[in-house]
Amino acid sequence: MRAPARLRRWKPRHALPALALVAALTAGLLWWQPWSGGDGDRLAFTTAPGGSARFGTGEHLYRYKVRVEDGIAESPAQFAAEVDAVLGDVRHGWAAGGTASFQRMPADPVDFTVYLATPKSTDRICGQYGLDTGGWVNCGVTHQVVVNLTRWTELSEFYQGRPEQYHALAVNHEVGHILGNGHVDCPGPGAPAPVMMQQIKGLHGCVPNGWPYSDTGTLLTGPPVQAPTNAP
Ligand SMILES: [Zn+2]
């Protein structure tokens, strides 16, 4: 039986453009990778092997993995050990609040990923979420924590000579965003600077501090800041 003329004509005239459209959409999806952890999965990163114990007893378990950009001096295992030490401090870290616990995983599924990335890659990943890191700062958004390699090695103005304090601050601040915390300001002169303060922009009378909780288990915070939406 012959197909109606309308159908016979359709093939040669429309098949090619339709195929081209499908190919273009597929290529776009492959480039964007909406199902993956973001652009960081397309750049060259290596995931730290192994995992950690569960840190803390909080009911809400946040599983994370650690990825380090290829070709930099810091090894994935080395960076992961520092991240673990920060999230694993159940006395001063976020786990001290009693609601969140953390565990590093060697692979998906995870709730967030901590990247150590060159400034260029940091801007690229953070920029996908509308955050302007300017080759200068870290970001924490949705399921991504991105630590700028230059910050990690050169630290910030108020933490010169204190890499452990700055590393704690960087991880605690960005993971704080993952937990849903916004920016706060210094509560008063001489007080420990809250980790959710944008400390890199000035301490406003506070003293350097990289931990969310004090020795006595008090949350170190301050008045909320109305930040522009693209502030990392
Ligand atoms: Zn922030």
Query: If you measure from the C-alpha of residue 184 to the centroid of ligand 1, how many angstroms do you get, rounded to a whole number?
Result: 9
Per-residue pLDDT tens digits of the chain, which is 232 residues long: 454 555 455 555 666 656 565 555 555 444 444 334 444 445 799 999 999 999 999 999 999 999 999 999 999 999 999 999 999 999 999 999 999 999 999 999 999 999 999 999 999 999 999 999 999 999 999 999 999 999 999 999 999 999 999 999 999 999 999 999 999 999 999 999 999 999 999 999 999 999 999 999 999 999 999 866 567 7
Query: If you measure from the C-alpha of residue 44 to the centroid of ligand 1, how many angstroms do you get, rounded to a whole number?
Result: 25
Q: Which domains, from first to last, does the chain contain?
A: 45-182 (3.40.390)
Q: Are 147 and 138 in contact (CB under 8 A)?
A: yes
Query: If you measure from the C-alpha of residue 185 to the centroid of ligand 1, how many angstroms do you get, rounded to a whole number?
Result: 11
